[in-house]
Chain A
Amino acid sequence: EDQVTQSPEALRLQEGESSSLNCSYTVSGLRGLFWYRQDPGKGPEFLFTLYSAGEEKEKERLKATLTKKESFLHITAPKPEDSATYLCAVQATGGSQGNLIFGKGTKLSVKP
């Protein structure tokens, strides 16, 4: 069964304290891995897509990497406005559907 597990469930950082979020996945064939940010009361906001092992994407203080079994979201020198829940999702190959399989997310709090 296709599955996505994110850790930790919650992470508290001081402003400027860099860290990483983990997303491990089990899927028959990977079409793509996606990172989203979700703020309270809002829908998930698309951040990155990764398609193959070794691929990296960067956006401001965020950098996403992908291996054959997991993905990491590195946050460098975070600011309070980076506080949100970060969701990881995979899209499997096979068939014509494109639905995403989500992890339960990591809730990040950054204190000034």
Chain B
Amino acid sequence: DSGVTQTPKHLITATGQRVTLRCSPRSGDLSVYWYQQSLDQGLQFLIQYYNGEERAKGNILERFSAQQFPDLHSELNLSSLELGDSALYFCASSGSGGGGPQHFGDGTRLSIL
């Protein structure tokens, strides 16, 4: 058990809809990272938050947004969903804002019908 909790485990929705994925980091970790994993692309970095502030952006679409709350949990919001957004979405946390290992949750599987 990594200590990182993601909910829900599965989401099934339709094109054009909006969903929110939730992540609780390991106790004491200040950084939260979001990654997308698809069969052909592997794990792709989306966005990082450190202690409530956005720290870095990767290949995140404009239709996607995230935030980190004062209690350090994070939410990833996906809107105007398209078939191609179907993927596994992982959250990871680390103690620092830069180096060191990241610990991953078990992900949210998003299926767009």
Chain A positions near chain B (C-beta within 8 angstroms): 31-32, 34, 36, 41-46, 49, 87, 89, 91, 95-105
Q: Closest Cβ of chain A: how far from B2's Cβ, in Å?
A: 7
Is B106 interfacial (CB-CB < 8 Å)? yes
The answer to whether A99 and B100 touch (CB under 8 A), given A43-B106, A44-B43, is no
**For the complex, what is the distance from the CA of A107 to the CA of B3, rounded to whole Å?**
25
**For the complex, what is the distance from the CA of A44 to the CA of B35, rounded to whole Å?**
11
> Given A34, A43, A96, which contacts B101 in the complex, CB threshold below 8 Å?
A34
**For the complex, what is the distance from the CA of A34 to the CA of B102, rounded to whole Å?**
9
The answer to whether A43 and B4 touch (CB under 8 A), given A97-B98, A98-B98, is yes
On whether the beta carbons of A41 and B106 are closer than 8 Å, the reply is: yes
Residues of B within 8 A of A87 (CB): 43
Q: Closest Cβ of chain B: how far from A88's Cβ, in Å?
A: 11
Residues of B within 8 A of A96 (CB): 55-56, 97-98
Q: Closest Cβ of chain A: how far from B97's Cβ, in Å?
A: 6
Chain B residue nearest to A95 in the complex (CB) = B56
The answer to whether A49 and B55 touch (CB under 8 A), given A42-B106, A100-B45, is no
Task: Identify which of residues 24-48 in chain B touch chain A, using a CB-to-CB cut-off of 8 Å.
Answer: 31, 33, 35, 42-45, 48
10 contacts between A and B (CB under 8 A): A32-B99, A43-B90, A44-B43, A46-B103, A97-B56, A98-B94, A98-B99, A99-B56, A100-B35, A102-B42
Question: 5 closest Cβ contacts across the A-B interface?
Answer: A97-B56, A43-B104, A102-B43, A99-B45, A104-B42
Chain B residue nearest to A39 in the complex (CB) = B106
On whether the beta carbons of A98 and B31 are closer than 8 Å, the reply is: yes
**For the complex, what is the distance from the CA of A98 to the CA of B33, rounded to whole Å?**
9
> Given B55, B97, B102, which contacts A100 in the complex, CB threshold below 8 Å?
B102
Contact with A along B1-31 (1 / 0, CB 8 A): 0101010000000000000000000000001
